[in-house]
Amino acid sequence: MEENFVPVLTLEDLSLRLPGKARLMGIDLGTKTIGLALSDVERRLASPLETIRRTKFTADVTRMIELARNHGVAAFVIGLPLNMDGSEGPRVQSTRAFVRQTAPMAKIPFVFWDERLSTAAVTRELIAQDASRAKRAEVVDRMAAAYILQGALDRLARVTKG
């Protein structure tokens, strides 16, 4: 691990450290699944990648890290499930614990991104597209990860221009 490795960065700090043409990976951390999304190398567009069915922590994280390495990922953007009033509940605590445990293994920094309403927005869109309940269940987690990542990419574009 490099000596100045910082496990959690702000989006602003990440923008200063990002190498050119490096992808970001979005993560929608659920209790039963981990939805993953991937940015393009220009970091303009987020695309759904994969849904990991959660089994054991090490197996889940190993798969996530393997995908990150295969795709040249420079950082993870993980959804932070804040309550609607902005307060932190048990799901935020478990997300922070996941990051604390994963960062030393991954050696890739994390950025937290407010994910309020991401799953609801994706579900509404899938319903509007007339996707069946089974199809929605199959894709909602990785689409939520893409929604989270796209929000961060849009903000990152404004930060780097600023």
pLDDT of the chain, 162 residues: tens digit per residue: 445 677 999 999 999 999 989 999 999 999 999 999 999 999 999 999 999 999 999 999 999 999 999 999 999 999 999 888 889 989 999 999 999 999 999 999 999 999 877 777 777 887 888 878 887 777 788 999 999 999 999 999 998 776
Q: Which CATH architecture has domain 8-161?
A: 2-Layer Sandwich (3.30)
- Written as six digits, the tokens of 135 are 């199809």
What is the structure's pLDDT at 109? Answer: 95
**Amino acid letter, 93:** Q
How are beta strands 73-80 and 110-114 bridged, if at all? parallel
Sign, CA torsion 16/43/87/7: negative
CB proximity list for 114: less than 8 A, separation 6 or greater: 79, 80, 82, 151
- Written as six digits, the tokens of 9 are 């960065």
- Alpha-carbon gap, residue 150 to 102, rounded angstroms: 22
- Alpha-carbon gap, residue 123 to 114, rounded angstroms: 17
Whether the model pTM is above 0.75? yes
